């Protein structure tokens, strides 16, 4: 973007936070508008209003990074964004309970600072990295993506994050790295869901991607949502977002990234192999054994007005990602 960069940003130092926030969002919309004229494939600007009653600033340095992030918004949908209340109040995060409101109610005291991530396996630069080490070389940007849960509800979410591929390259994967595995924190003291003996998930929660999926430009590491740091219920301080796959692939509160030659285990595949495959690509033609995947309830979805819409192949991102699966039988590799 050619317009509105450094001189405007300085105003954040003298402008109250709320005014500044609106100002920055406005500037980003302008930037996107300019891009739209240049490229007809870019989408219209969805509205963005977030109540300020809840605030998740994160550590000072992260707040700073969010403010200094790119002014360009990346739109991967033109649908209206899901209200903030639903994005932070209707979550799956089994470590904090299996109910959709459990994460909001039970994750607020979750400690996400300081935070470390272990990098291991088929890489030249393994090690323990602080969250700051992980984030500092990257420029944060806002990406507006659909999220389609396997349970057939969906949202449109303005994430703040950066390219996962750019991050992974820094650790120099070896030629043997064909898959990448992600691991969530295991801390039963803080995570009540990990203390129950009848859990469907074997802890810690693990997920995986094929290397080309991980390197795809749509795949991001998210550190924020709706202009703020991530709330704990959304996977603070670091969570994956893979918009063409069911939500369960987007693992939260990541403490380890491991590079492998062989396909790693994933939590939901271990729990119910006939229901959840490794790929988990959104596919309206391949039903879950217990329910249809042809439609979804776009939140908010009140009982008498469920707001049901058709689910799209690869969650609407087929043009970008279908080539990754050329020649594969998507019924077999679900
Ligand atoms: N560690 C962990 N990550 C997780 C889950 C979980 O239970 N534990 N749930 C997944 C599921 S099923 C979904 S739909 C998304 C929900 O993300 P959101 O709460 O930010 O919408 O998180 C995914 N990541
Ligand atoms: Mo999900």
Paired with 229 in beta bridges are 224
Q: For residues 156 and 78, what is the distance between their CA atoms, to the nearest angstrom? A: 9
Per-residue model confidence (pLDDT) at position 75: 84
Per-residue model confidence (pLDDT) at position 73: 86
Type and span of the H or E element at 165: helix 164-170
Pick 3-325's CATH classification: 3.20.20.210, 3.40.50.720, 2.40.33.10, 3.90.420.10: 3.90.420.10
- Taking alpha carbons only, the member of 330, 214, 319 closest to residue 283 is 330
Residue 5, classed as helix, strand or coil, is: coil
Which residue's CA is the nearest one to ligand 1's atom 10?
A: 248
| Ligand 1 mutation target, pool 187, 209, 247, most atoms within 8 A of CB | 247
How far, CA to CA in Å, does 90 sit from each of 133, 225, 273?
31, 14, 26
Answer yes or no: is the C-beta of 75 below 6 A from any ligand 1 atom: no
- Taking alpha carbons only, the member of 88, 87, 80, 9 closest to residue 48 is 80
| Ligand 1 mutation target, pool 84, 89, 90, 92, most atoms within 8 A of CB | 92
Distance from the CA of 221 to the center of ligand 1, in angstroms? 14
pLDDT tens, N- to C-terminus, the chain (334 residues): 233 333 333 333 333 334 334 334 333 443 443 333 333 334 455 556 666 567 898 999 999 999 999 988 888 998 999 999 999 999 999 999 999 999 999 999 999 999 999 999 999 999 999 999 999 999 999 999 999 999 999 999 999 999 999 999 999 999 999 999 999 999 999 999 999 988 999 999 999 999 999 999 999 999 999 999 999 999 999 999 999 999 999 999 999 999 999 999 999 999 999 999 999 999 999 999 999 999 999 999 999 999 999 999 999 999 999 999 999 999 999 9
Q: For residues 248 and 250, what is the distance between their CA atoms, to the nearest angstrom? A: 5
Answer yes or no: is the C-beta of 208 below 6 A from any ligand 1 atom: no
Answer yes or no: is the C-beta of 221 below 6 A from any ligand 1 atom: no
- Taking alpha carbons only, the member of 315, 297, 274 closest to residue 100 is 297
Residue 134, classed as helix, strand or coil, is: helix
Q: Are the beta carbons of 43 and 75 closer than 8 angstroms?
A: yes
Distance from the CA of 247 to the center of ligand 1, in angstroms? 6
Per-residue model confidence (pLDDT) at position 49: 65
Answer yes or no: is the C-beta of 321 below 6 A from any ligand 1 atom: no
∠ CA 143-48-57 to the nearest 5 degrees? 70
Q: Are the beta carbons of 148 and 280 closer than 8 angstroms?
A: no
Answer yes or no: is the C-beta of 225 below 6 A from any ligand 1 atom: no
Per-residue model confidence (pLDDT) at position 57: 86
Per-residue model confidence (pLDDT) at position 72: 83
DSSP per-residue letters across 52-117 = SSS----SHHHHHHHHTS-SPEEES--SPPPPHHHHHHS---GGG-SSTTHHHHH-TT---SS-EE
Closest ligand (CA of 230): 1
Closest ligand (CA of 91): 1
Distance from the CA of 83 to the center of ligand 2, in angstroms? 18
Which residue's CA is the nearest one to ligand 1's atom 14?
A: 247
Per-residue model confidence (pLDDT) at position 253: 99
| Segments making up each domain of the chain, as ranges | 3-325
Which residue's CA is the nearest one to ligand 1's atom 19?
A: 91
Closest ligand 1 atom to Cα of 149: 14
CB burial readout 295-334, b (16+ within 10 A) else e: ebbbbebeeeeeeeeebbbbbbbeeebeeebeeeebeeeb
């Amino acid at each position: 973007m050619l317009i509105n960069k450094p001189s405007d940003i300085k105003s954040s130092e003298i402008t109250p936070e709320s005014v500044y926030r609106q100002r920055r969002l406005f500037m980003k919309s302008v930037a996107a508008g300019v891009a739209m004229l240049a490229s007809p494939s870019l989408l219209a600007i969805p509205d963005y209003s977030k109540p300020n009653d809840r605030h998740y600033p994160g550590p000072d340095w992260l707040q700073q990074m969010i403010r200094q992030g790119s002014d360009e918004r990346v739109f991967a949908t033109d649908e209206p964004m899901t209200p903030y209340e639903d994005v932070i109040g209707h979550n799956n995060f089994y470590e904090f309970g299996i109910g959709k409101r459990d994460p909001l109610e039970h994750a607020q005291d979750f400690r996400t600072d300081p935070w470390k991530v272990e990098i291991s396996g088929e890489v030249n630069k393994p090690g323990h990295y602080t969250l700051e080490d992980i984030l500092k070389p990257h420029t944060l940007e806002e990406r507006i993506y659909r999220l389609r849960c396997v349970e057939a509800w969906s949202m449109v979410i303005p994430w703040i994050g950066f390219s996962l591929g750019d991050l992974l390259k820094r650790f120099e994967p070896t030629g043997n790295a064909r898959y990448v595995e992600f691991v969530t924190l295991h801390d039963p003291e803080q995570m009540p869901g990990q203390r129950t003996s009848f859990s469907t998930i074997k802890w810690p929660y693990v997920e995986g991607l094929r290397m080309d999926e991980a390197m795809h430009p749509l795949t991001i590491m998210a550190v924020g949502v709706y202009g703020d740091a991530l709330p704990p219920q959304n996977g603070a301080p670091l969570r994956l977002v893979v918009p063409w796959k069911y939500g369960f692939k987007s693992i939260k509160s990541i403490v380890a990234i491991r590079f492998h030659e062989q396909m790693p285990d994933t939590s939901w595949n271990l729990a119910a192999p006939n229901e959840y495959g490794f790929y988990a690509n959104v596919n309206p033609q391949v039903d879950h054994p217990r329910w249809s995947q042809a439609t979804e309830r776009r939140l908010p979805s009140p009982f008498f007005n469920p707001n049901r819409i058709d689910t799209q192949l690869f969650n609407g991102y087929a043009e970008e990602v279908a080539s990754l699966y050329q020649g594969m039988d998507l019924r077999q590799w679900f």
